[in-house]
Every structure is written in structure tokens, then in C-alpha cells.
Structure 1
Amino acid sequence: MIPVTSFSSSSVKIPKKEEEENEEEKVAQALNYHNQTKHGFSNYARGPRGLDWANQPNPFRRYISAPLIPLLHFPVENQKPNPHDADAPLYSSLFSSLPPPKPISQSTISQLFYDSLALSAWKTTGFSTWSLRVNPSSGNLHPTEAYLISPPIHSLSDSPFVAHYAPKEHSLELRATIPSWFFDKFFPQNSFLIGISSIFWREAWKYGERAFRYCNHDVGHAIGAIAMAAATLGWDVKLLDGFGYKDLEKLMGLDVFPEFKIPSRPIKGKFPDIEFEHPDCLLLIFPNGTNKFDVNYNELSCAIKEFSNMEWKGKPNLLSKEHVCWDIIYRTANAVKKQLTVEMENLPVDEYQSSGICCENSYKGFTVREVVRKRRSAVDMDGVTVMERDTFYQILLHCLPSGSINGGKQRKQLALPFRALSWDAEVHAALFIHRVKGLPKGLYFLVRNEDHLEELKRATGSEFEWEKPEECPHDLPLYRLATVDCQELSKRLSCHQDIASDGCFSLGMVAHFEPTLLDKGAWMYPRLFWETGILGQVLYLEAHAVGISATGIGCFFDDPVHELLGLKGSNFQSLYHFTVGGPVLDKRIMSLPAYPGPGIDA
């Protein structure tokens, strides 16, 4: 019989010394997972040897018998895009300023989900039909689920409520009504919450042990998608990071799932409990212009404890008949759970910071909805499309966390959509430039937190130039490291995938890694991936806004990337790769509208 451990967290008060020792063990577990799940030239991280199609997880979580509340639909095309159209602002305008906030209503809530987490299309070829969503996902597997926690909304609910978002139906599944005083007592006026959770099994079915990384990329993509859609409505978004894992579990009604017992090694069998949802984070959505507010996490935590006693409607559907448990995923998820942080009570909201503009005419006049709903992950790049240098610089300016800060350093996350996060930027980008007109091919580096600049120079190869490239905007901390044709190199480092070399440029997202975990705690491990996911979301949207495409690359050879950069140890680690360029369209695949979709599951 295989020994098991519980997937649960203790609320018992732990002595300070023991707590510090526990934290060291948790960081060690995160580092162990990270190292064990690296791909190398001679070996890949452990995963299934083939895909068990009979047990491919259903991509749609439903709560059977929960009341289903339909949401409204919206036209994607604007016949005459108008920069002053309050209902359909131009994509590029959001980076300058947000429109006036709209009230919370059936229409605005519908629009928020329609432009962030809904289906964007169905695809079909031969006997296969599958759905695409506005928010990207590794392998289109979509482990991410979302919950609306809201005050009463006319035509949706007469009482404050918790609802699960069902993207296939573009509807809300009403899970519970909550006390009338909950929002009035704890949150600013005209605000609501969105909770995000992950079903690890959906991703592990295909990717095995590395799936925990990809689930957290997807959390970041979802946060970025929600932040962009909220901005269209004049709403700001802030991660409420003082909550503990147990608080989120109760708030979203996820403690209805049976406790999952973790086996001591990878095993296969019928484990319906493995389909539980892991609560990741909670986002507060509120009117733009709100300066600050107090969030009393301690009192909130006490109030949320009562949620377990409420009537929760609906039983979660079964996603697969049989499963494979990659035990290290669940052991690591246990180790990196966030505990309640009672001292984080005052939540300042920094003033909205516009992003730099150096080439406004790079954009094609698309509305936000046209960009977000037509975003696709390119399967192949054409190897010929060339990007203008100013367009390249413009894309990178929107990748900066602090926006345009009049000569100040890039560090704090003030610009859209990074301002949703609660920590200073920890993620940089090593860029492989292939086809940017006016820039030599080569290896470049975007420093997204300039406090790390000197450390990066010391940590990377001594032969690197660290020179600003030609005509680079003064407020863009981009540096040329080496002039070299790195097309074959970038392909080889990204698991020999042509897509990494056939675009205009590709990149590896390099995080300030072990020092961040040691300084803040093991709970920062998934958050570093969230930051890469938000950066990836910006790259996706920027590429489509200038008329090309992009793709996230989760498969890359970790340590060979570090060796190329001269990085030793774990102070900096590459967490996510990306490619941007001209897509190759597969004419064998037909596109169908997202709603109404075919009457079959994907």
C-alpha cells in the first residue's frame, strides 16, 4: 500500500523558530521542484510517454444543478472605430489613460467576462472540433477557473453572491448567496471580487511534472486578461495578496472538494479527488481613481470562516475516468501556499501610470475587443516577416512595469496590466533579435527592474556589451549584449522548435529567483510565473495590435539558457519563452463563431 499525505494546511500557531525552519523547508521544496522539472538536451522532465486520449480531461468545469444565469453577448467588429467611443475604446488608448468608470451592472459584468475569459472561437478540421478562449493556455488545456464574488446586481442576483463562470455557456453558475453586510463592511463602494483557481490535473494530463509551472503561467495570463478587460470599463484591478490559502478556499466554495491524499510516488488509477481546484488568488475590481482603502485581512478571515456553513449549490462534474498523479506537483503546491498576512491592512492604490509612446502609428486602429478576442497562438511563424525597429521599441515600452515615469527607474508595477500585482517587478527578458529592421541580429536584454541592473551585469558573461541599441528611447532599459545570428541557437534552446527562430524575435523571461524566495517566502514561487504570464499576455496583445502574432513557449532547455547568459546558481532563472512574428495560417482548419458553439463538448 502506498503511503499518502494530506493536501491541507494547519491553522495551529507555530513558534517563530519552528516557523522559520518550516519556511526554509518550503523554499527547499520549491527549488527542488524547479530543478527536477527542468528540461535538458539529454533528458526532459518526467511526463506521460503518450497521450491517453480516452481520459483527456473535459475542459469545462460545471457545477451540476447550480442555477445558470446567462450573460450578455457583444459584437466584436466595429464598423467605424472611434477613439472617443466609450463602449469600444481603441486598444492603444488604454495605455495612456482609462475611461471614466462604468457602474456594476449585468451589461458591464457580462462585458468583463466576454473580453477576458470567454470562448473566442471554435475550430474544426476533419472529425475534430475544439474551442479557443480569450485567455491563452498552455496546450489549450485551460486549467484556470474563475469565480465572481459580488454585491447584488440587477438581473443577476438580488443578494450578494458567489458564482462560477462557465465560459462555454458564457453564464454564471450561482453557487451561494452571502451575507448582505459582506461588501459594505470590508470593501470600497462599487467594487467586486474575482477569484482564480487551478485544476492541476488538466495540465498534468499532457505535461506531467512540469504542469505546475504551466498552470501558474495561465494564472498570469488570466490576471492580465481580466486587467485589460476591466480597464476598458474604467475599472482598476488589485491582487489582494494578504489572504491565506484557506481563506480563498472558503470564499470560492472550494472546500466542498474532498481532501486529496498525495501518494509517495507517481501512480495511475481512478482518483476523482485529483480534480479538486487549487485556489490561487483573489482580485479586487474597483473604480479607477480610488486612491487607497483599508483591507482588514484578520477580520475578513474570521468572517470568511462562516462561508463553510452556507448552502453551496451544485456538484462538480467529473473530468476524466482515470488519472495519473504526479506527486511532486501536489507536494510543491502544498509548500508554496500563502498564509494569512494580518499586518497587510492598508492597501495603497498608486496613481495610474501611462506607458511610453514612441510609435503610435504601429497600431492598426483596433479596438480592445478586436485585439483580445481575435488573439490566437500561432502554430508556426513564416520566417520572412520583418518588424520595424520603432514598432519593436513600442512593444517593449508596453512591457515595462512602471510605464513613463519621467526619468525614474523601472521597478514598481504601476502601468497596465502589471499594476494588478502587489510586488515590484522581478522578471526580465533576454531577447533573440532575428528580423527587426534597423537592429543588428543578436542577443539583447530588457531590464524590467533597474535595481537589478548591476547584479545582472555581474551575474552574466563578462564578454557582453551592455550597450543601448540604435535610436533606443531613453526611458527603455534595453541593452545589446552581443551581435550574432542566434536563429539556430534560439530554436535549439526552445526544444528544437522552429517557431522560436522563424519569428521577428523570441525571448526568455528571466526571473530574479532564489533571492526573491528567500526574502519573501516560498509563496512567491508561483507568483513569479504569474508575472511571466502577464508579460506574455502583453506580448500576445501587442503582436495582434500591430498586425502579427505570438506564441508562448513552455518547452525550453532551462540550464543551457542560463549557460548562454553566463548565469550560475539560482539567483536568476528562465521561466517562460515567447516568440513574436508573422503567423502561418493553416487553411485546413475552419473557424466557427464562439457563440453559439457546436452542441458537443470540445
Structure 2
Amino acid sequence: MPFSSPRFSLLLNPPPFHYLPATTVVLNLTTISNKRFVPAMFFSSSPPSSSPSPSMTNPKEDFEKQKLLQVQEVLKYHNQTKHSFNKYARGPHGLDWANQPNPFRRYVSAPLLPLLHFSTDNEIPSSSAIDNPLYSSLFLSLPPAKPISKSTISQFFYDSLALSAWKTTGFSTWSLRVNPSSGNLHPTEAYIIAPPIESLSDSPFVAHYAPKEHSLELRAEIPSGFFPKFFPQNSFLVGLSSIFWREAWKYGERAFRYCNHDVGHAIAAVAMAAAGLGWDVKLLDGLGYEDLKNLMGLQIFPEFEIPSTAVRGKMPEIEFEHPDCLLLVCPNGIGEFDVNYKDLSSASSDFSKLKWQGKPNLLSKEHICWDIIYRTAEIVKKPLTLGDRFLINPFQRSGLYSDSYKGFTGRQVVRKRRSAVDMDGVTKMDRNTFYQILSHCLPSGCQPGGKQKTQLSLPFRALPWDAEVHAALFVHRVVGLPQGLYFLVRNESRLDELKKSLSPDFVWAKPEGCPDDLPLYELFTYDCRKLAMQLSCHQDIASDGCFSLGMLARLEPTLLEKNVWMYPRLFWETGVLGQVLYLEAHAVGISATGIGCFFDDPVHQLLGLKGSKFQSLYHFTVGGPVLDKRIMSLPAYPGPDIDS
């Protein structure tokens, strides 16, 4: 039925967009990027407010009161970094090209261990289903686990975090990676902590992954008893960290959001590459911030003293790496085992005494510090939590509703994935293909008679918490479905809460032909193309695809019920979901793009949301890409000697 509720008339016919006062400068939107964002703004006419952390000096202070104060500080950051119809979140005055951060971290003088390269273009999918499983097959079952070797570790990084291509036009050259990143800025760094691997290291070791060289930089050798004591045979660890400065250079205060989107993309990229080798991935989330810093050797960076306001100057210490998470990679089907987090934390403290090799390179000569990013990062640092039980649930297959895939191998999909810069506004998608894509977005997979909640399917099974991210979908060009707003409920225990929180005008009807076990609902029918474009910072790409969506997270209750460290983790979950949409789009022959710029509260107004119970954290669009013929593609390896 047509949707004509007067309470949404302002959103369906919004007023003309007004920019900030004359003190604000809008940046040019011609920069080619790996994720679609409208550039940020300069300072508003009032100075940035400081966000001091709550006092931690009284050990007897009531825990719940302290947690409430921390939640309020996190929500302060979230609200301060929202975009709206009449202003953007604070960001730089313009792109300071002289200080654009180097996208490649290197540890100068650390021994470099080259990895092997693999074919992508000439693969014949049917020739070796074990060595190169089909992309679609990975969601049904994992292949037999391969042993850890130089070859398999090389393939693992090649298919997850390596360069995927170089692009060049005119005098500009830049690289793309398997894992996508906002603005192609790549704040995420990766480390491997592994037992001895023949032809790489005779001793267990910690190494930094250098994607430009597709090599490991050996940082330290670790005690021989570490892996046998804590982890199953043929296991290793992957650590992820963020350099906030890389994102803040372009996006200012909103950069903390984007860094955590990228962590989620990287988690999913790691999980998908591991799946192709028969390996499972699980977040070791009982560990705390200090444990991760020790295990990855990030104590090498000096402590960063956060200024009381946003400042510009030479601050090399701002280029430190913030440890985000540690992932266990192990053979699939390994069965039950537990991780003693207390002993593991104790062992990690000894890593600070190791002989660490290499000095991190300088990324920029001058910097701008957006203080609220670093204050918020301090608040959401996770401590060691001993009550958490480590559990790897049995693999759960995803639903199969349509044979829409093009017969690509997993490697072909992950390495040829690209972010569309524009959509053609013409390409249509079959209804069953739409349902198939959404089936791979479900956390619990195909569970006849069961409900979506626990994250059991690929790649969501890497995350240890129940799903808390849902999707509000703008359907534009799906044959067999009327245009309108739809909703995918990814945790069905939240269905009643969602219905009470969203507009009472929504119909919550099952779409025609929708599988019974796909929790998708029609909210209202309407041509939402103009609306989707306006809500996504007036970007046509949100209206020119087959569908676009906003990822809605249960925010404030999750922070109160669990803790403030769930704030970045909710963004990780949106990044994992976004990576699935990227891969699904390519696997059916089209493309996708993450949209970090959207008008937060107008999105909530459309949905009828009030307060901070549910918040939109990430937008996406899926459709037919427009290729820029001026841009030439070059192989990832060997790449050019220099990059922009």
C-alpha cells in the first residue's frame, strides 16, 4: 500500500540543504575513494568541547553509576559526530595533501619474510574444488583443514589483507586492498602470532603483515611453550590494530566510527580467507587492551597525551596503533576446548620483555588531533574479563534460495571485489537473488524452526556476542517486489522491541515469495529513491542501485547491559555485515559500496525512533556499477615503485 503518513512529510519532501556558516568550508567531492563519503567540514563557529573521562580514583564508587557515566560520555561522542541536514560533524578545513598519511606501516630494520603469490585471473573453478572452493560453497560447509605452512599462511594473507590491484590515471597512482576501507585510507594494521612455520621461522614468532610487499616483518621470537599451553595444534593468532590519524586526516571527529567499520571489514576478510583453507576464526574477547598491546608489540609506541581541545602541529606520537582485537585461527571442527584468559593474560605481560625488532616509520610530518576521538577510545578500552567462556559453536550453513552466483571461487570474489564509485540507475535484481543475498546476512544461518540470534554462520561466527545489528532496506529495483522500505530482523528476540520502537504506522507484512525462515518485513511501499539519496548526504549512489540500506544497532541498552566497550564492537558487526554485502554483490555480478556519510537523526525520524535505543551506524548500497574508463587497472604484484 502507498505510504502517506503526514508525520513523514518533512522527510519525504525535505527542505533544501543548508551549509554551515561562512566559517565552514566544504571540500571537493572529486577524490576517488574506496568507500563513498561526503567530505567532512571544518570547525563550527564554537570551539570543540572537551570530554574528560570520569574519575577513576575512588575504588568504592558504585559500579553501575560509573558505567552510566561512561555510557553518557560515549553517547556524547556519538551525538557530537552526527551529520544533519544543516551541518556536518567537525572535520578538517581541506585535504592537506602535503601531510596525507602513508598508507603503509613498516618496521624499519625488522627482518622481511617474503610470502608466496597465487593466481586469480586464470583459475578454473572446477579444476580443484579442494584447493579453490567455490565462493557459494563456503556458506554450506568448510573444506578439510589444511596444515599451517608457508604456502597456506601466504594464501591466507593474499586472500584477506593483501593488495588486490593498483589504479592509475594521469599523474595519480594508488593501491586497492582485499579488505575495503573508508576513503581507501586503511587505518587497520595486522599481526600474526604463530608457532614455528617451516621456511618462515624456526621459532614461534610475532610478525607484522606488510601488504605492499606481501611479506611478514619479523618483530620478535616468543617462548616455545606459549602455543602448546593455550591453543590447539595447527592454530595461530591474528591481531588487528587501528591508526586513528589515517582516518582523521580526512574525516575529522567521525573517524573513530570509520576505523571500527574497517576493523569489522578486516575481521570478515580474515574469516572468509580462513574458510577457504578449512580454518575457523573466533574473537578472543576475554583479553583486555593491555594484553593485546603486549601480544602485538605495540608498547613500542610512546603514550599519547590527549590535549584538551583539537590542535594542529607535529605530533608523531599520534601515529600510535590502538590494539583492537585478537582472533584465533584454528582447524574447523576442532571440538570443544577452553582458553584460560587469566593465565594467557599473565603470559602476555611477559611479551613486553621480548626483544622487539624494527622502528615504525613516520606517516606524516604534521598532524591534527581531534581530541574527542582519543578520549572516547580511552573510555571504551576493554579490561581483562575472566568470566567470559571461550566457545566455538558448530558451523551452521546459510540458506540457499536461489542459484544466483556466477561460479566464482572464493579467491576470485574476495580479490576482485571493488567499491563502486557510481551506480548506473538501471540495473535490476531478481527477487530471489535479493532474498539469497539477505540469507547470507543472517547471523544464525539456516535453522528450520529456529530463530536468528546467536552468530553461528560464516563470517559472523567470528563474533562471540548475539547479533545486535539489523537492516532497514530501501528497495529501488528488485523485480517482483514493490519499491519501499523493508526491515531485516537479524536478532528475532528483539522483534517486539523493534516494533514498539519504530513507527506505529509500519505494517510489518511478509513480502511476496519471501522464504519462511528469512525474517524480512515490508514496512511501507513508496518510491524511496529520492529519500534514500537525501538521507545519505545527497549522494545519488544511494538511490541508483537495486537497493540501499541503513544498519540499525541496539545501542544504549547494549552498552548498559554489557559495557561501553561494546560501542566499537557494534561498528565491527556492521563492518562484517558490510563485507558480506560487498562479496555477495560481486558474486552475483554487480557491485556495492559502503556509505559512512548519512544524516543520522533524519534516518531515525523516518523510522520513528526516539532516544538512543536504536541508532543507524552504517549505510550501504548494492547495484550495477558505472566504470570510469579513464582509470587503468594494474596488477597488485609487482606494483609500481611509488604510490600517491
After TM superposition, give the deviation of residue 9 of structure 1 in Å. Answer: 13
After TM superposition, give the deviation of residue 340 of structure 1 in Å. Answer: 0.2
* Residue of structure 2 equivalent to 1:347: 390
Please list the CA deviations of residues 58-93 of structure 1 after superposition, one character each: whole Å capped at 9, or x if unmatched: 000000000000000000034431186211100000
After TM superposition, give the deviation of residue 23 of structure 1 in Å. Answer: 2.3
Q: Secondary structure at the match of 1:236?
A: strand
After the TM superposition, which residues 492-531 of structure 1 pair with which residues of structure 2 at under 5 Å, given as runs? 492-531=534-573
Which moves more between the two structures, 13-22 or 299-308? 13-22
After TM superposition, give the deviation of residue 6 of structure 1 in Å. Answer: 13
* Contact 1:164/1:173 (<8 A) preserved: yes
Q: Secondary structure at the match of 1:263?
A: coil
Residue 590 (str. 1) matches residue 636 (str. 2): no
Instruction: Write the distance in 1 (CA, Å) between the matches of 2:63 and 2:485.
Output: 43
Which moves more between the two structures, 549-558 or 456-465? 456-465
After TM superposition, give the deviation of residue 8 of structure 1 in Å. Answer: 12
1:430 to 448, 472, 482: 472
1:91 to 132, 135, 138: 135
* Contact 1:6/1:260 (<8 A) preserved: no
Q: Which amino acid aligns with 1:599?
A: D
After TM superposition, give the deviation of residue 343 of structure 1 in Å. Answer: 2.1
Q: Which amino acid aligns with 2:542?
A: A
After TM superposition, give the deviation of residue 29 of structure 1 in Å. Answer: 1.4
Instruction: Write the distance in 1 (CA, Å) between the matches of 2:123 and 2:231.
Output: 39
Cα-Cα RMSD: 1.8
2:258 to 214, 228, 233: 214
Question: Is the alpha carbon distance of 1:77 and 1:529 closer, same or farther for their aligned partners in structure 2, counting shifts above 3 Å?
Answer: same
Instruction: Write the distance in 1 (CA, Å) between the matches of 2:457 and 2:57.
Output: 38
After the TM superposition, which residues 448-527 of structure 1 pair with which residues of structure 2 at under 5 Å, given as runs? 448-527=490-569
Instruction: Write the distance in 2 (CA, Å) between the matches of 1:7 and 1:155.
Output: 50
Residue 236 (str. 1) matches residue 303 (str. 2): no
Q: Which amino acid aligns with 1:478?
A: L
Question: Is the alpha carbon distance of 1:260 and 1:6 closer, same or farther for their aligned partners in structure 2, counting shifts above 3 Å?
Answer: farther
* Contact 1:507/1:579 (<8 A) preserved: yes
Instruction: Write the distance in 2 (CA, Å) between the matches of 1:8 and 1:171.
Output: 40
Please list the CA deviations of residues 37-74 of structure 1 after superposition, one character each: whole Å capped at 9, or x if unmatched: 00000110000121000000000000000000000000
After the TM superposition, which residues 501-580 of structure 1 pair with which residues of structure 2 at under 5 Å, given as runs? 501-580=543-622
Please list the CA deviations of residues 512-569 of structure 1 after superposition, one character each: whole Å capped at 9, or x if unmatched: 1100000000000000000000000000000000000000000000000000000001
Unaligned residue ranges in structure 2 (runs of 5+): 1-49
Q: Identity of paired residues, percent?
A: 75
Instruction: Write the distance in 1 (CA, Å) between the matches of 2:104 and 2:409.
Output: 28
Residue 153 (str. 1) matches residue 197 (str. 2): yes
Q: Secondary structure at the match of 1:348?
A: coil
* Contact 1:355/1:403 (<8 A) preserved: yes
Please list the CA deviations of residues 424-453 of structure 1 after superposition, one character each: whole Å capped at 9, or x if unmatched: 000000000000000000000000000010
* Residue of structure 2 equivalent to 1:136: 180
* Residue of structure 1 equivalent to 2:427: 385
* Contact 1:83/1:93 (<8 A) preserved: no
TM-score when scaled to structure 2?
A: 0.91
Instruction: Write the distance in 2 (CA, Å) between the matches of 1:19 and 1:175.
Output: 39
After TM superposition, give the deviation of residue 188 of structure 1 in Å. Answer: 1.3
Residue 250 (str. 1) matches residue 250 (str. 2): no
Question: Is the alpha carbon distance of 1:14 and 1:106 closer, same or farther for their aligned partners in structure 2, counting shifts above 3 Å?
Answer: farther
Stretches (4+) displaced over 6 A: 5-10
Q: Secondary structure at the match of 1:347?
A: coil
* Residue of structure 2 equivalent to 1:194: 238
* Residue of structure 2 equivalent to 1:57: 101
Unaligned residue ranges in structure 1 (runs of 5+): none
Instruction: Write the distance in 2 (CA, Å) between the matches of 1:352 and 1:49.
Output: 48
TM-score when scaled to structure 1?
A: 0.97
* Contact 2:51/2:375 (<8 A) preserved: no
Q: Secondary structure at the match of 1:193?
A: strand
Instruction: Write the distance in 1 (CA, Å) between the matches of 2:385 and 2:289.
Output: 11
Q: Secondary structure at the match of 1:390?
A: helix
* Contact 2:51/2:73 (<8 A) preserved: no
After TM superposition, give the deviation of residue 349 of structure 1 in Å. Answer: 1.4
* Residue of structure 1 equivalent to 2:400: 357
* Residue of structure 2 equivalent to 1:439: 481
Instruction: Write the distance in 2 (CA, Å) between the matches of 1:378 and 1:364.
Output: 19
The size of the alignment, in residue pairs, is 597
Q: Which amino acid aligns with 2:436?
A: Q
* Contact 2:53/2:375 (<8 A) preserved: no
Please list the CA deviations of residues 101-152 of structure 1 after superposition, one character each: whole Å capped at 9, or x if unmatched: 0000000000000000000000000000000000000000000000000000
* Residue of structure 1 equivalent to 2:34: none
